[in-house]
Structure 1
Amino acid sequence: MLQLTYKKFLSYYNESLEPQIRSTLSSAKQTLTNASAMLTKVKQFIPQATDKLTQAKNTLGTANHAIQKIQTEFPTLSAKIKELANKLRTLEEEADIAEIVQLLKNDVNAERDFFEEPIKLKEHRVFPIANYGTAMTPFYTVLSIWVGCLLLISLLSVNLHGDTPYSIREIYFGRLLTFATFSFIQTLIITIGDIFLVDGSIQAPAYFILFGLFISLVFVTVVYTLVAVFGNVGKALAIVMLVLQIAGSGGTYPVELLPRFFQLINPFLPFTYAIEMMREAVGGIIWSTVWMDLIFLLGFWFIFILFGFFLKKLLSEKMEHFMNKTRGLDIFH
Structure 2
Amino acid sequence: MEQKESKFTKSFLWKIIAIITCAIMFIPMMYSLFYLGAFWDPYGNLKNVPVAFVNLDEPYNNDGKSYTLGKDLEKKLKDNDSFKWEFVGYNKAKEGVDNTSYYAMIVIPKDFSKKLANSTNGNFEKPQIIYRANKGRNFIFSLLSQKGAESIQSQITNSISKETTKTLVDKLYDVKDSLKDASDAQDKIQDGTQKLFDGSGTLATNLVSAFDGSNKLKTGLNQLTDGSKQLNDGLGAAYNGSNALGNGLGQLAQGQKKVVGGLSDLDNGLTQFKAAINQTDGKMDQLVKGSDQLNEGAKGLNGGVDKLNKLVSGSLDQAASGLDSAASYADTAEKLLDKATAEISIDPEQAKKDIAAAKQITDIIKQGNTSISSKLKASKNVVSDNLSKPVSTLGVYTSQIADGVKQARSSTSDTIDKLLNGTRALEAGSGQVNDGLTTVASKTNDLTNGLGKLSNGSSTLMTGLNTAASSTGTLASGLGQLSDGAKTLNSNLGTLNDGTKKLKDGLNDGYDKINNNLKFTSNAMSKFVSNPVNLSDQSINDVKKYGEGLAPYFISLSLWLGAMFINLVLTLIDKLKLADNKFYNNFLGKYAVGVVLVTIQAIVLAISLNAGLGLDAIKTPYLYLNNIFTSIVFFSVMYGLSAAFGIMSTPISFVLLILQLSSCAGTFPIETSPVFYRVVNTFIPMTYTVNVVRMILSGINHSGLMQNISILLTFMFTFLIGGFLIKTLREKISKQLISKQSAETAA
TM bucket by the smaller chain?
0.5 to 0.7
Partner SS, residue 231 of structure 1: helix
Alignment match, 1:153: 567
The 5 Å alignment of 1:175-214 reads 175-214=590-629
Alignment match, 2:193: none
What CA distance in whole angstroms lies between the structure 2 residues aligned with 1:107 and 1:204? 56
Q: Quick check: 1:172–1:308 contact (8 Å CA) kept in 2?
A: no
Q: Quick check: 1:134–1:202 contact (8 Å CA) kept in 2?
A: no
Q: Quick check: 1:139–1:251 contact (8 Å CA) kept in 2?
A: yes
What CA distance in whole angstroms lies between the structure 2 residues aligned with 1:237 and 1:320? 26
Alignment match, 2:540: 126
Q: Aligned partner of 1:294: which letter?
A: I
Instruction: Find 1:298's aligned residue among 709, 713, 717.
Output: 713
How far off its partner does 1:316 sit? Answer: 5.8
What CA distance in whole angstroms lies between the structure 1 residues aligned with 2:614 and 2:729? 48
233-242 or 204-213, which deviates more: 204-213
What CA distance in whole angstroms lies between the structure 1 residues aligned with 2:612 and 2:583? 44
Question: 1:173-218 CA distances to partner (integer Å, 9 max, x unpaired)?
Answer: 1111111110000010011211111112333221111111111111
Q: Quick check: 2:633–2:716 contact (8 Å CA) kept in 1?
A: yes
Partner SS, residue 182 of structure 1: helix
What CA distance in whole angstroms lies between the structure 1 residues aligned with 2:693 and 2:538? 22
How far off its partner does 1:159 sit? Answer: 3.4
Aligned pair in 2 of structure 1 residues 190, 163: CA closer, same or farther (>3 Å)?
closer
Partner SS, residue 314 of structure 1: helix
Q: Quick check: 1:203–1:283 contact (8 Å CA) kept in 2?
A: yes
What CA distance in whole angstroms lies between the structure 1 residues aligned with 2:660 and 2:721? 22
What CA distance in whole angstroms lies between the structure 2 residues aligned with 1:139 and 1:164? 39
Do structure 1's residue 143 and structure 2's residue 557 form an aligned pair?
Answer: yes
What CA distance in whole angstroms lies between the structure 2 residues aligned with 1:246 and 1:150? 15
Q: Quick check: 2:640–2:721 contact (8 Å CA) kept in 1?
A: no
Runs (5+) with no aligned partner, structure 1: 1-103, 322-333
Question: 1:125-157 CA distances to partner (integer Å, 9 max, x unpaired)?
Answer: 322111110111111111111100111123223
What CA distance in whole angstroms lies between the structure 2 residues aligned with 1:195 and 1:319? 49
What CA distance in whole angstroms lies between the structure 2 residues aligned with 1:171 and 1:214? 23
What is the count of residue pairs matched by the alignment? 216
Alignment match, 2:639: 224
Q: Percent identity?
A: 25
Length-normalised TM-score, structure 2: 0.27
What CA distance in whole angstroms lies between the structure 2 residues aligned with 1:163 and 1:205? 37
Q: Quick check: 2:666–2:690 contact (8 Å CA) kept in 1?
A: yes
Q: Quick check: 1:188–1:213 contact (8 Å CA) kept in 2?
A: yes
What CA distance in whole angstroms lies between the structure 2 residues aligned with 1:212 and 1:163? 28
What CA distance in whole angstroms lies between the structure 2 residues aligned with 1:162 and 1:192? 32
What CA distance in whole angstroms lies between the structure 1 residues aligned with 2:666 and 2:540? 21
How far off its partner does 1:320 sit? Answer: 11
Partner SS, residue 729 of structure 2: helix
Q: Quick check: 2:618–2:697 contact (8 Å CA) kept in 1?
A: yes
The 5 Å alignment of 1:1-333 reads 121-157=535-571, 159=574, 161=577, 171-315=586-730
Alignment match, 1:326: none
Partner SS, residue 586 of structure 2: helix
Instruction: Give the CA RMSD over aligned residues.
Output: 3.6
Aligned pair in 2 of structure 1 residues 122, 159: CA closer, same or farther (>3 Å)?
same
What CA distance in whole angstroms lies between the structure 1 residues aligned with 2:554 and 2:734? 34
Runs (5+) with no aligned partner, structure 2: 1-121, 127-156, 162-530, 737-747
